[in-house]
Chain A
């Protein structure tokens, strides 16, 4: 019984130490984000002077007004939405077409097809051969270069396949077969409705991926009117090339610099808005996806 008395003290120390560590981690994650939000709602002079910490200084919406008046940002926003919705739609259809047959137990040649998929996870043609392919297909500078080359992610396909395998009993397929329901109908009538959860997960994975990437657009698009938001953001946030005329500010240099900085903070928020809005809902499903994915198929 002596040990019984001693253990809680050890444990207390343990809980305090982990508590402090977790607190610090949370703070480190949170502070930069709070700072960005606070800056985005402040006035230009306070932003440029670095006076904004974790609460807006002289609350103003001028940053956001500037964002919404910034034409190329709005064009990028629209383009990104188009690429995201169209891309995800194509992704889902293609992924489902692959996942359902591959989830069928003892379908002949299933493993061969599976290997064809898995190999692409570890090896690929690389930048130039892909570029040349799209050039030959006349897909450069078109919407299709944004939505077709990544039509199926093997990882997402495996998540979907694992889900179908594990949560739709094979007896159902056998019963349907006896009743004369063919595989096409079975896919539409049974598999799709029962896979809503995993479709949501995979759709969100794809959608966030489309929204956040810039690499394909960077390689395949050069028409400014087709650029997705992330490329426009790159020009503003990274290359620092802000179209001064679009800011409509006083000609005072400092004010203009402050406005440019403020614009960056606000743009960060606006660009992340779709994901932020989805977040509470997304989070639950994303976590589910990781769980399904971690079950080795």
Chain B
């Protein structure tokens, strides 16, 4: 029963060795699979992994003539420069506030929408609401921000005119620094809530109907059944999505913020991604090394947060990304 070390050494091949050999055999038999994989792997190495090595210019002073590999090493210089700059104190909080606000507003709304939709008894109405709420997902950011500018135009926009009619005065500028965050976040909710609810609808469709019937017989109201049957069903999905989103707490996408930025709201709207862009790509003053250092700082923090949240979640709820 108990195989002593001597005994297993006496065997012709250990289990591990045998596995390795059969692995080699399998790999040789399926060589065509690796031929197919060659192009995608080459793509990954060139366009995903090579730039990861390029990140080292964050630790070098970029030399336009010599390129990445011939630039002089400067260590943590650019990171220190960022941490001690006045921009750091503004850009980092702006990023975190905007992304936490987006998460706080954008995370529960699709769940509530899905729970509510799931209790609609008329299938056609349900379909109709779904079809309508999905539409904004397909609008491009440029068009979305364009619509915002038009609809919230103080003089001629739908909301601007309505505000004037109701309150008898002009609507405040929603794109200035006071309202920037709200308009950014809630337009995001407007755009994504329908689409984000799909995944919860899918989870809800797996609820065992007998559970509902049993609860009904026991006298549970529809609302109680939502709380005690539907909600627990979608909880694992919600946790996974929350973990995935948490990895982005320190990042706010470039596209939309950049479009919504103006000189009036810059104090609250400058986030890491837009600042990285401005440092790195503004003609004349571009500083590749500094920009890369800020970007690298950002992605490393994201990675750390994601790992932390995932570990905690694994411990608490045994729900995990990997």
A, B: real partners: yes
| Set of chain A residues within 8 Å of B139, measured between Cβ atoms | 212, 272, 275
Q: Please determine whether A15 and B119 come into contact, CB atoms closer than 8 angstroms.
A: yes
Q: Please determine whether B141 and A212 come into contact, CB atoms closer than 8 angstroms.
A: yes
Q: Please determine whether B158 and A35 come into contact, CB atoms closer than 8 angstroms.
A: yes
| Set of chain B residues within 8 Å of A39, measured between Cβ atoms | 150
In the complex, B105 has a CB within 8 A of chain A? no
In the complex, A100 has a CB within 8 A of chain B? yes
- The residue in chain A whose Cβ has the minimal distance to the Cβ of B54 is A129
Known A-B contacts A47-B156, A101-B33; A238 and B52 likewise in contact (beta carbons under 8 Å):
no
In the complex, B99 has a CB within 8 A of chain A? no
Neighbour of B288 across the interface among A106, A132, A265, CB < 8 A: A132
- The residue in chain B whose Cβ has the minimal distance to the Cβ of A104 is B33
In the complex, A281 has a CB within 8 A of chain B? no
Q: Please determine whether B117 and A3 come into contact, CB atoms closer than 8 angstroms.
A: no
- A184 CA / B36 CA spacing, docked (Å): 8
In the complex, A43 has a CB within 8 A of chain B? no
Q: Please determine whether B199 and A18 come into contact, CB atoms closer than 8 angstroms.
A: no
Most B Cβ at <10 Å: residue of A30, A33, A101, A148: A101
- A78 CA / B237 CA spacing, docked (Å): 41
Q: Please determine whether A290 and B198 come into contact, CB atoms closer than 8 angstroms.
A: yes
Known A-B contacts A132-B288, A183-B32; A50 and B142 likewise in contact (beta carbons under 8 Å):
no
In the complex, A32 has a CB within 8 A of chain B? yes
In the complex, B160 has a CB within 8 A of chain A? yes
Known A-B contacts A10-B222, A18-B119; A26 and B133 likewise in contact (beta carbons under 8 Å):
yes
- A265 CA / B151 CA spacing, docked (Å): 10
How many residues from B make CB contacts under 8 Å with A? 94
| Set of chain A residues within 8 Å of B57, measured between Cβ atoms | 128-129, 132
Neighbour of A212 across the interface among B40, B140, B151, B280, CB < 8 A: B140
- Give chain A interface residues in 129-151, CB to chain B under 8 Å: 129-133, 136, 148-149, 151
Known A-B contacts A21-B116, A128-B280, A271-B140; A123 and B34 likewise in contact (beta carbons under 8 Å):
no
Q: Please determine whether A133 and B129 come into contact, CB atoms closer than 8 angstroms.
A: no
Most B Cβ at <10 Å: residue of A47, A131, A279: A131
Which of B23-31, B86-94, B176-184 faces chain A? B23-31
| Set of chain B residues within 8 Å of A124, measured between Cβ atoms | 48, 51-52, 299
- Give chain B interface residues in 96-130, CB to chain A under 8 Å: 112-113, 116-117, 119-121, 128-129
| Set of chain A residues within 8 Å of B68, measured between Cβ atoms | 129, 132
In the complex, A249 has a CB within 8 A of chain B? no
| Set of chain A residues within 8 Å of B47, measured between Cβ atoms | 130, 133, 148-149, 151
Against B, the Cβ 8 Å flags (1 = close, 0 = not) of A30-63 are: 1111011001000000011110010000000000
- Tell me how far the C-beta of A176 lies from the nearest C-beta in chain B, rounded to whole angstroms: 13
Q: Please determine whether B138 and A133 come into contact, CB atoms closer than 8 angstroms.
A: no
- Give chain B interface residues in 179-213, CB to chain A under 8 Å: 190, 193-194, 198-199, 202-203
Which of B1-9, B263-271, B290-298 faces chain A? B290-298
Q: Please determine whether A15 and B145 come into contact, CB atoms closer than 8 angstroms.
A: no
Against A, the Cβ 8 Å flags (1 = close, 0 = not) of B261-289 are: 00000000000000011001100000010
Known A-B contacts A25-B113, A26-B133, A212-B140; A133 and B41 likewise in contact (beta carbons under 8 Å):
no
Neighbour of A29 across the interface among B132, B220, B288, B306, CB < 8 A: B132
Which of A65-73, A107-115, A162-170 faces chain B? A107-115
Against B, the Cβ 8 Å flags (1 = close, 0 = not) of A285-296 are: 011001100100
Q: Please determine whether B32 and A182 come into contact, CB atoms closer than 8 angstroms.
A: yes
Which of A81-89, A194-202, A213-221 faces chain B? A213-221
Q: Please determine whether B40 and A97 come into contact, CB atoms closer than 8 angstroms.
A: yes
Q: Please determine whether B133 and A272 come into contact, CB atoms closer than 8 angstroms.
A: no
Against A, the Cβ 8 Å flags (1 = close, 0 = not) of B205-231 are: 000000000001001111100000000
Most A Cβ at <10 Å: residue of B139, B158, B302, B322: B158
Q: Please determine whether A107 and B51 come into contact, CB atoms closer than 8 angstroms.
A: no
- The residue in chain A whose Cβ has the minimal distance to the Cβ of B52 is A125
Q: Please determine whether B255 and A215 come into contact, CB atoms closer than 8 angstroms.
A: yes
In the complex, B74 has a CB within 8 A of chain A? no
- The residue in chain B whose Cβ has the minimal distance to the Cβ of A137 is B46
New contact pairs (9) apart from A130-B54, A212-B141, CB-CB < 8 Å: A47-B156, A113-B37, A122-B306, A149-B47, A151-B43, A183-B36, A272-B143, A290-B202, A294-B203
Query: Which 4 pairs of residues, A with B, have the shortest CB-CB distance?
Result: A125-B51, A129-B54, A237-B146, A212-B140
- Can you report 15 residue pairs joining A to B where beta carbons are below 8 Å apart? A22-B129, A29-B136, A47-B156, A50-B158, A94-B40, A97-B39, A108-B26, A124-B52, A133-B54, A151-B47, A212-B141, A214-B140, A238-B145, A272-B140, A276-B138
